[in-house]
Amino acid sequence: MQLELTGKKALVTGSSRGIGRVIAELLVAEGCYVALNSRNASEVLAVVAELTQAVAVVGDVSKPEEARRVVSEAISAMGGLDILICNVGSGSSVRPGEETYEEWQRMFALNLWSTTNTVEAARNTLAAAKGVIVCISSICGLEVVPGAPLTYSAAKAALHAYVRGIARPLGKDGVRINAIAPGNVLFDGSVWSRKLQEDANSVQDMLKQSVSLSRLGTSQDIAELVAYLASPRSMFATGAIWTLDGGQVHS
């Protein structure tokens, strides 16, 4: 399928490693100009050095003023913006029942404000381009996943409500927004990489019992769906949460 992404200008937040990096690499392969973002300058510059048609924009988009600067610098560097991929997030938090005010604030900043800040900063430019937004979320926002931090799950559930709710006002401007809710994804440095090293048999048992396809997902799995949702091939899709978990969620 031809995705018709050649020449499109994309900003991918949180893209120096893991899922975000693979998304950025795939968009470049599809012909996009891509601005990669990270709080870590050395990491994102090292990734950009390996790519063509890519620039680095350093900043913490969980902070409103930095999100505005990141978006502005990306637009200036590329000469516009057609695609926004909101990938910043983290599931590392305290165990259920150990939440504090400070931890709630930290997790909502990473997993919700990072998206709302960036969307608000990019909205006018995306409207002019009739652009598209794709948010990377989690199945933890869809149902209770045993052992998952409550702070993370609540923030991702709020992200889903935001995507569904903002779709209509964005749609009036010709902008589409969708979210992808991945299940268990394996990449270098991920929690599943660590768990496989610690006890591969337990991981395989969990997959057989809980996941229809009995395997972990990959960053490439996520990136392929991102590319489709970012492309004109998905022009009728907006305000949706796309579950991509190998058949784990039951609700």
**Which residues are identified as catalytic?**
152
CB under 8 Å to 215, separation ≥6 — which residues? 207, 246
**DSSP secondary structure of the chain:** -----TT-EEEESS-SSHHHHHHHHHHHHTT-EEEEEES-HHHHHHHHTT-SSEEEEE--TTSHHHHHHHHHHHHHHHT--SEEEE-------PPTT---HHHHHHHHIIIIIHHHHHHHHHHHHHHHHT-EEEEE--GGGTSPPTT--HHHHHHHHHHHHHHHHHHHHHHHTT-EEEEEEE-SEE-TTSHHHHHHHHHHHHHHHHHHHH-TT-S-EEHHHHHHHHHHHHSGGGTT--S-EEEESSS----
Query: Quick check: 84 and 126 in contact, CB under 8 A?
Result: yes
One-letter amino acid identity for 14?
G
HSE value, Cβ hemisphere, 13 Å, CA-based, for 67: 22
